[in-house]
């Protein structure tokens, strides 16, 4: 088997990022020495996107926000599932990630970044959501988070900004009627799912793959048209865990 070779690295405020390659088609993205994702094990990323878009039905055109670009597999799967008239905004905090996808992975992700439906914004997705929540014209049919860390994160400040109760209020306000909030999670977080339920989301947990520890996908769908902020004593939905093979 061919060895891994580091082809680029970058030190950001969030830590050291490394891109490694093996042969012509295998890529590996690391953050402070921890493997974030790779090009041969991306079932969860693809399931995250396909499940979210699948919840939207046939309404066209659709407007989607993706938080986090990574190696581009979530974006690629989203584009595959959407119609040609849809629009996808990708909020990526680190410009080097966008540069790497453009320079090294265009063939691997089928030129996803040059698709005319795609708009790249170099910004924190929490800022993107906040702007949409306060706008009458910039709502989304789906918001998809594929970030370095899921709801059970190790950095409390970032956790609250992305997955805390106030953050979920903004997500709900940024979604159009019938909208979907899809979140990648390294492992399930019951407290996060309960907060979603308190915000009148119907919650479903998916477990892509089979056998052993697996990353999770949380799908949260707006279940009624209650005014934003009216969340007194909601009935908790029954959560079903679905296996995707």
* Residue-range domains of the chain with CATH: 42-244 (3.40.50.150)
Helix (H, G, I), strand (E, B) or coil at 27: strand
Q: Which residues in the chain land under pLDDT 70?
A: 153-154, 209-214, 224-245
Q: Residue 183: beta bridge partners?
A: 145, 218
CA distance 197 to 238: 10
Confidence (pLDDT) at 87: 97
pTM of the model: 0.88
Radius of gyration of the chain (CA): 17
Confidence (pLDDT) at 44: 84
Long-range residue pairs from 105-111, CB within 8 A, at least 24 positions apart, any chain: 105/27, 105/39, 105/71, 105/72, 108/25, 108/27, 108/39, 108/71, 108/72, 109/71, 109/72, 109/73, 109/75, 109/76, 110/76
Confidence (pLDDT) at 224: 61
Confidence (pLDDT) at 15: 87
Confidence (pLDDT) at 231: 35
CA distance 165 to 2: 46
Query: Tell me, what DSSP letter sits at residue 126?
Result: H
């Amino acid at each position: 088997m061919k060895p891994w070779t580091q082809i680029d690295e970058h030190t950001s405020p969030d830590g050291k990022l490394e891109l490694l390659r093996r042969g012509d088609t295998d890529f590996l993205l690391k953050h402070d020495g921890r493997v974030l994702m790779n090009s041969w094990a991306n079932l969860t990323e693809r399931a995250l996107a396909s499940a979210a878009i699948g919840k939207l039905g046939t309404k066209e055109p659709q407007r989607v926000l993706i938080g986090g670009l990574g190696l581009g597999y979530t974006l690629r799967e989203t584009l595959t599932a959407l119609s040609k008239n849809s629009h996808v905004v990708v909020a990526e905090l680190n410009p080097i990630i966008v540069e790497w996808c453009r320079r090294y992975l265009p063939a691997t992700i089928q030129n996803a970044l040059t698709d005319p439906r795609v708009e790249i914004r170099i910004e924190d997705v929490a800022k993107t959501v906040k702007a949409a929540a306060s706008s009458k014209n910039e709502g989304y049919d789906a918001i998809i988070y594929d970030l370095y860390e899921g709801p059970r994160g190790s950095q409390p400040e970032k956790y609250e900004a992305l997955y805390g109760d106030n953050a979920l209020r903004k997500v709900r306000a940024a979604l159009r009627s019938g909208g979907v909030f899809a979140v990648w999670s390294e492992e399930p977080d019951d407290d996060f799912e309960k907060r979603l339920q308190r915000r009148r989301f119907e919650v479903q947990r998916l477990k892509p793959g089979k056998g052993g520890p697996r990353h999770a996908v949380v799908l949260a769908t707006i279940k009624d048209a209650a005014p934003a902020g009216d969340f007194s004593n909601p009935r908790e939905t029954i959560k079903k865990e679905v296996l995707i093979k």
